[in-house]
């Protein structure tokens, strides 16, 4: 278990420019879903993008977070999706 605020602090540290949306999927503070929009993802494969997020949450992924659904976007991709 981990407070959502702590997860956001971690992500904010790794992706200072990011727009972050974090949801607690089960209300148990260990199954989260994160949508992260950051320039840091540009030019990277989906696997590399998620690896960046996992690296930022390395300690948390070892126990406190049981499941993390991830959606990562560059600002450009996200802007296109939002228009749809």
Q: 41's torsion region: left (phi>0), alpha (psi -120 to 50) or beta? A: alpha
Report the side by side order of strands in the sheet with 31-37.
19-24, 31-37, 67-73
Kindly tell me which of 26 and 39 has the beta carbon lying closer to other proteins: 26
Distance of closest approach, residue 6 Cβ to other proteins, in angstroms: 17
* Residue 81 CB partners (closer than 8 Å, separation 6+): 73
**Interacting residues with other proteins (CB under 8 A):** 46-47, 50-51, 54-55, 58, 61-62, 67-71
Name the minimum Å distance from CB 12 to other proteins: 20
Q: How far is the CB of 65 from other proteins (least distance, A)?
A: 9
């Amino acid at each position: 278990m981990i407070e959502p605020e702590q997860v956001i602090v971690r992500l904010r540290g790794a992706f200072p420019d990011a727009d972050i949306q974090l949801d607690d999927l089960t209300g148990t503070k260990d199954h989260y879903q994160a949508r992260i929009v950051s320039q840091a993802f540009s030019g990277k494969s989906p696997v590399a993008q998620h690896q960046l997020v996992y690296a930022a949450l390395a300690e948390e992924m070892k126990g406190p977070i049981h499941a993390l659904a991830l959606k990562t976007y560059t600002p450009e991709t996200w802007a296109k999706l939002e228009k749809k």
